[in-house]
Structure 1
Amino acid sequence: MTASVEFRALRRVFGKTVALDGLELVVAPGEFVALLGPSGCGKTTALRCVAGFERPDSGAVLVDGRDITDVPANKRDAGMVFQSYSLFPNLNVRDNVAFGLRVRKVPEATRRAKARELLDLVGLPSYADRYPHQLSGGQQQRVALARALALEPRVLLLDEPLSALDAKVRVALREEIRRLQDSLSITTIFVTHDQEEALSIADRVAVLRDGRLEQVGSPAEIYNRPATPFVAEFVGTMNHLPGQISGDRVRVLGQVLPVDGAVPEDPSVDVLVRPEAVTVVPDEDGGATVTAASFRGASVRLRLRVEGGDVLADVPGHEAARFTTGTRVAMRLVERPVLVAARTATVPAPVVAADAL
């Protein structure tokens, strides 16, 4: 049986550092929610408050409406998987998986049967007698996941479990975690600083900043309709283009587009535009020049030099040959509402996000 989890006005302070500042969030039964944000935003602290490893200074953690803030960690019906695996080196895989059952004095035959079932579930049925040092990083994390599931928790907590793995293994294992979560319908909270990871695996993504919830929504909502400039910047790459506000519209690069969201008081703004919303075609009389191209398989990211700065644009990968360095192009923004922010840049604009190419 799965459970709802609620963070209610959660606050946690370490010295002068405010890790959580009134966090409010509800995770529905069986839902997979990713807590996403930069280092120090409070996402791991929030997870540890659910697990019982941290006690908030104020506010409460509720599971199915029951306040568990003061319940000891070993009395909470939650399983946690850490970044560092935390397997017992002196125990084989079977005994690592069954460790929690042994602590609860479950009979050995039952423990072995449960361990066998879970190793089948995570794709390691033939590894029961091996020791952690005989496993790859991805295999060790699968064992850690099986161990967390052994006690049949109502809530699964994952604290950046994939960050220590190489890229290919990370992608495969995140798909495996999603498959397991779907098959078990277990309420899952997944902490990560990796935007692609959060968007690809979660039902909803909660973006945190300085201990507060900046936005929560589906991956498509977070990416396509960021509620704030911070979310727009943190999730994906953004161009910053100079614009002038007039009413609820903004003039940018010779176009007039509707504004999505709040409008700053100052009419001089930064218009935030993703690279895929910039269309380009080769044109000898165009106002932009390709200065770099980065092949990304399905797409090519171009750096375009325009008067005053650079702009990033994505074009289909099969068109790479049309956009070699030095190619003159005509550039236009997709006709759709754009997010704007108060002008902050003091350097000549347009400018692009720091991760650029």
Structure 2
Amino acid sequence: MNGARVEFRGLRRTFGTTVALDGLDLTVEPGELIALLGPSGCGKTTALRCVAGFESPDAGAVLVDGKDITRVPANRRDAGMVFQSYSLFPNLNARDNVTFGLRVRKVPTAKRHARAAELLELVGLPSQGERYPHQLSGGQQQRVALARALALEPQVLLLDEPLSALDAKVRVTLREEIRRLQLSLGITTIFVTHDQEEALSIADHVAVLKDGRLEQSGPPAEIYDRPATPFVAEFVGTMNHLPGRVTGDEVEVAGQRLPVHGQRPDSPDVDVLVRPETVLVTPDPEGEAVVVTSSFRGASVRLRLRLAGGTEILADLPGHDAARLAPGEHARVRLVERPVLVAPRTAAVADAVPAAG
């Protein structure tokens, strides 16, 4: 399969007074897996449905390999879609579900069955072809849905939160399988999710949406380490909010002066956004910070500490470094010397908590 280039150009879609997409501009390169990430109602599923042909934008265009497909009917678009709810035909077995589109195109039976066998092998279900959906687990049903989407060898694969109905262990396994298949086939893939871990773990690029607009797009490491806006910083990962005061290009926070990254609010009094892994904690009986709680997280331990002024801060430390930092112990706290994002003190981005949908 040859991946196609997909472009969203000024895409706008409204539903009554609700603006689902507000001038979305985004490009997906051939063979790339991009994750559309954001909270409920941010427009990510609407954008996907505009590519599939299930929604028509009010303005703007969708291009595939330079061809405007905005008004092309869904059944004439070279795209395969996998839904959250599997959407398998309950009266057809797995093999016939996979070959349904081929049968509609009047592909001969022998070729259809050969293609089904190939795809069921590809998704790890070589012996499940005769089983019906009710005889398959949720993860197996989603694999069949994936095979069905690939049967017509589409240029673009569209995945609308395909893993959200599965339990945690199956979800991790299947997302890795999806990534393996996508890389081996070289198919351009647009993956919609509200799960930041899911997006960061499998995507080449992550596009973070808010209120129908693109907040930031880039490789997962860039989105996490160098968020462009306070919203992105808060939505992707965990953030501490520490009181600080901006002076020039620096902010004074927790007894340190750090360079400011990004925009500066009009007021000098700000919230400084700091990730827990950039908080350095050292046991010190004379230290002004006090450990409030300690939570074991496998490879790391998350500490909650109360600073001298009463502000609490989270810190993620390797387990061996946290061994001497039990609740009630005193410590010294410092922040890694790196540029930090700041937000208006009165407008913290608490509304960016990930939500399902």
The TM-score normalised by the length of structure 2 is 0.96
| Match of residue 139 from structure 1 | 140
Higher mean C-alpha displacement, 317-326 vs 303-312: 317-326
Question: For 2:335 and 2:180, how far apart are their aligned partners in 1?
Answer: 38
Post-superposition Cα deviations, 1:209-235, rounded to whole Å, max 9, x if no partner, equal 000000000000000000000000000
Question: For 1:8 and 1:275, how far apart are their aligned partners in 2?
Answer: 37
CA apart distance, 1:323: 2.0
Post-superposition Cα deviations, 1:153-175, rounded to whole Å, max 9, x if no partner, equal 00000000000111111111100
| Secondary structure class of the residue paired with 1:319 | coil
**1:46-61 to 2 correspondences below 5 Å:** 46-61=47-62
**1:128-277 to 2 correspondences below 5 Å:** 128-277=129-278
Higher mean C-alpha displacement, 255-264 vs 5-14: 255-264
Letter aligned with residue 244 of structure 1: R
Higher mean C-alpha displacement, 82-91 vs 322-331: 322-331
CA apart distance, 1:345: 6.0
| Match of residue 105 from structure 1 | 106
| Match of residue 2 from structure 1 | 3
Question: For 2:180 and 2:168, how far apart are their aligned partners in 1?
Answer: 19
Q: Is the CA contact (8 Å cut-off) linking 2:38 and 2:208 kept in structure 1?
A: yes
Question: For 1:149 and 1:49, how far apart are their aligned partners in 2?
Answer: 19
| Match of residue 32 from structure 1 | 33
Question: For 2:116 and 2:164, how far apart are their aligned partners in 1?
Answer: 25
Q: Residue 339 of structure 2 is aligned with which of 337, 340, 346?
A: 337
| Secondary structure class of the residue paired with 1:118 | helix
Aligned length: 350
| Match of residue 74 from structure 1 | 75
Post-superposition Cα deviations, 1:142-191, rounded to whole Å, max 9, x if no partner, equal 11000000000000000000001111111111000000000000000000
The unaligned stretches of length 5 or more in structure 1 are none
| Secondary structure class of the residue paired with 1:232 | helix
Letter aligned with residue 248 of structure 1: D
Post-superposition Cα deviations, 1:2-37, rounded to whole Å, max 9, x if no partner, equal 210000100000011000000000101111100000
Q: Is the CA contact (8 Å cut-off) linking 1:92 and 1:132 kept in structure 2?
A: yes
| Match of residue 321 from structure 1 | 323
Q: Is the CA contact (8 Å cut-off) linking 2:245 and 2:252 kept in structure 1?
A: yes
| Match of residue 303 from structure 1 | 304
| Secondary structure class of the residue paired with 2:320 | helix
Higher mean C-alpha displacement, 320-329 vs 157-166: 320-329
The TM-score normalised by the length of structure 1 is 0.96
Question: For 1:59 and 1:141, how far apart are their aligned partners in 2?
Answer: 32
Letter aligned with residue 273 of structure 1: V
Letter aligned with residue 177 of structure 1: I
| Match of residue 20 from structure 1 | 21
Higher mean C-alpha displacement, 174-183 vs 317-326: 317-326
CA apart distance, 1:354: 7.3
Question: For 1:66 and 1:238, how far apart are their aligned partners in 2?
Answer: 42
Distance 1:14 1:345, change over 3 A: closer
The unaligned stretches of length 5 or more in structure 2 are none
| Secondary structure class of the residue paired with 2:107 | coil
Letter aligned with residue 337 of structure 2: E
Q: Is the CA contact (8 Å cut-off) linking 2:235 and 2:353 kept in structure 1?
A: no
| Secondary structure class of the residue paired with 1:222 | helix
CA apart distance, 1:245: 0.8
Q: Is the CA contact (8 Å cut-off) linking 2:242 and 2:311 kept in structure 1?
A: no
Question: For 2:249 and 2:23, how far apart are their aligned partners in 1?
Answer: 32
Question: For 1:14 and 1:317, how far apart are their aligned partners in 2?
Answer: 50
Question: For 1:160 and 1:197, how far apart are their aligned partners in 2?
Answer: 10
